[in-house]
Structure 1
Amino acid sequence: MKLISYRRAGKPCFGAVVNDGVVELSGRLEGVADLAALLADDAALARARELAASAGASHPLAGVQLEPVIPKPGKVVCVGINYVEHAHEAGRKIGAHPVIFQRYHETLIAAGAPLLRPKVSEQFDFEAELAVVIGKGGAHIDPADAMDHVAGYTCFNDASVRDWQFHTHQYGMGKNFQATGALGPWLVTADEIADYRELRVTGLLNGEQMQHGSLSELAFDIPTLIAYISKALPWNPGDILATGTPSGIGFKRTPPLFLKAGDTFEVTITQIGTLSNPVVDEA
């Protein structure tokens, strides 16, 4: 099942994508206010599947305004240097523990919305990633049980302002400019992905492939990441885990290649879909 958050007539909604239409689920599932709440409720999810299979489309997909899959996640936890080849291009070694940093939900945008190149930097880079959406919360999760906490998967562009990223040893500022984290277009529920390690992530700039990698290449796999982070903070439904980017980022190319106004960057993940965003300059 493909699930989206969107706005219609200015009202926040959520629904299931079926072909080119949307089966609206808002207001049809008792006690379920948004997509994060749906992901936490097994009975409501089962009812949502029934509606997606039997109800006609409420709206054409092209007629709704998409929002980030989870518009205001409580946590967006990102992982750096998590593909072996990306570590090599960055001149970094894979350590004993994952490199963790955070994003604020205010930085997130939907599929189709413009990525905003900040006026304080010309080093605006792309990072194609798989994002995991948490459905079942919990703390001190055993790695053997971690996949039970996954609701589904979506595409993410962790677009980064490189000079600001390296102002200090902490990544935070370069990862938290407004309108730089594209998330979507939809969530594909975990039951439709037999083995996430078979997924392949591709990043395309103006139609030209820049990045390509397999989830089997992660230095720290998804169960390890979920379990590790849960030792510090409990996961909650709707939280986002961004799993890292493959090699090919613009910053490490010769010469470096950065996003500029008029560009379009796409994140394509097999079995999930394509997240596409244009680039504009900050006013």
Structure 2
Amino acid sequence: MRLISYRPKEIPGNFRMGLMIEENVYDLQEHYSSLAKTKKTGEHAEWIDRMVPSDPGSFYRLGEQTLKVAKETEQFIKQQGGQAVSKEVVELGTPVPEPSKIICIGKNYAAHAAEMKGEVSDFPVLFAKFSNALIGPNEDIEKPSATKKLDYEVELGIVIGREASNVKKEDALGYIAGYTIGNDISARDLQKRTPQWLQGKTLDRSTPVGPWVVSAGEIEDPSNLSIRSYINGELRQESNTSHLIYDVPYLIEFISGLITLKPGDIILSGTPDGVGVAMDPPQFLEDGDIVRLEIERIGSMENKVRKV
């Protein structure tokens, strides 16, 4: 199941929850309403809006309830058909637009830690982004005048589906709603000018996430996915999530032991080697550059860098 946030290109309005099935977009709430009619349960519009919110942020905050209904609706569409529109006529938004937390992991691939001339930590390195940084899978990455050293980082994104506190790693995968692609855009000059990284990590409209959330049931093992980034068609990063120092179950155990994770929270799990700052000479993102990210079984997204 691929969960999307979308709106028509011709008449932009609020983003709505949808399902991407093959190359077509189906409105989730509208098709759940059709499903409810076949059950003859007499569900009224207000109840349906509470059960399956059209707003993507509200959808994820409801957690397991909405995920279960979304899967049921997808099965209904595949069996009965529905009113589809081509993905070419819609704009995809960042699939989880208002997470309560965006927790990022630093130096979680040994080769990346080495290229950054850092040692592997005894514990995961945690830092944060905020929702002001999030953009959709086709939007421009904004490069403000405050930075001269904007860098790319392809990462597996983990979207939380259930409230998680003190979760054991053997149970951790059951708390995941799904997986997505994130670009942990980093202003290296701002990141390194103080011991704390935050100012270089959460610039306005700098962090693409998408193109959708692939439900956890579609990816049983997130620890064996190929991961790549390209700049203007040139391969820069190529690895596999099997090389994560701290794998997905451990990250959820570790983080939930410190911070209660809420449905819709995003964890960006770290980037492999090949970032621009580590090249000789360093290669930073410039106005007009095209950044393409790919993760196996999720898909790809492509964003243009735009100076602002």
Give the TM-score range, shorter chain. Answer: over 0.9
Asked whether the 8 Å contact 2:61–2:262 carries over to 1, the reply is no
Q: Specify the code of the residue in structure 1 equivalent to 2:4.
A: I
Instruction: Report what 2:43 is aligned to.
Output: none
Instruction: Report what 1:46 is aligned to.
Output: 71
Instruction: Report what 1:26 is aligned to.
Output: 29
Instruction: Report what 1:179 is aligned to.
Output: 205
For structure 1, which runs of at least 5 residues remain unmatched after alignment? Answer: none
Number of aligned residues: 282
For structure 2, which runs of at least 5 residues remain unmatched after alignment? Answer: 33-47
Instruction: Report what 1:198 is aligned to.
Output: 224
- Which whole-Å CA distance do the structure 2 matches of 1:117 and 1:176 have between them? 12
Moved more, 2-11 or 224-233: 2-11
Q: Specify the code of the residue in structure 2 equivalent to 1:16.
A: L
Give the helix-richer structure, 1 or 2: 2
- Which whole-Å CA distance do the structure 2 matches of 1:32 and 1:69 have between them? 15
Deviations 1:67-101 (A, max 9, x none): 11101111110000000100111111111110000
Q: 1:80 aligns with which of 86, 106, 115?
A: 106
Instruction: Report what 2:19 is aligned to.
Output: 16
- Once the 2 structures are TM-superposed, how far is the Cα of residue 267 of structure 1 from its aligned partner? 0.8
Asked whether the 8 Å contact 1:38–1:45 carries over to 2, the reply is no
Q: Specify the code of the residue in structure 2 equivalent to 1:6.
A: Y
Instruction: Report what 2:60 is aligned to.
Output: 36
Matched, 1:61 2:87: yes
Matched, 1:241 2:261: no
- Once the 2 structures are TM-superposed, how far is the Cα of residue 7 of structure 1 from its aligned partner? 2.5
Deviations 1:224-266 (A, max 9, x none): 1111111222111111010000000000100000111111001
Q: 1:257 aligns with which of 254, 258, 283?
A: 283
Asked whether the 8 Å contact 2:157–2:269 carries over to 1, the reply is yes
Moved more, 97-106 or 18-27: 18-27
Cα root mean square deviation, aligned: 1.4
Percent identity of the aligned residues? 34
Instruction: Report what 1:227 is aligned to.
Output: 253
- Once the 2 structures are TM-superposed, how far is the Cα of residue 46 of structure 1 from its aligned partner? 3.2
Deviations 1:101-128 (A, max 9, x none): 0000110000110001111221000001
Q: Specify the code of the residue in structure 1 equivalent to 2:123.
A: H
* Cα separation, partners in 2 of 1:154 and 1:32, compared to 1, 3 Å: same
- Which whole-Å CA distance do the structure 1 matches of 2:238 and 2:302 have between them? 16
- Once the 2 structures are TM-superposed, how far is the Cα of residue 28 of structure 1 from its aligned partner? 4.5
- Which whole-Å CA distance do the structure 2 matches of 1:26 and 1:12 have between them? 12
Matched, 1:112 2:138: yes
* Cα separation, partners in 2 of 1:255 and 1:77, compared to 1, 3 Å: same
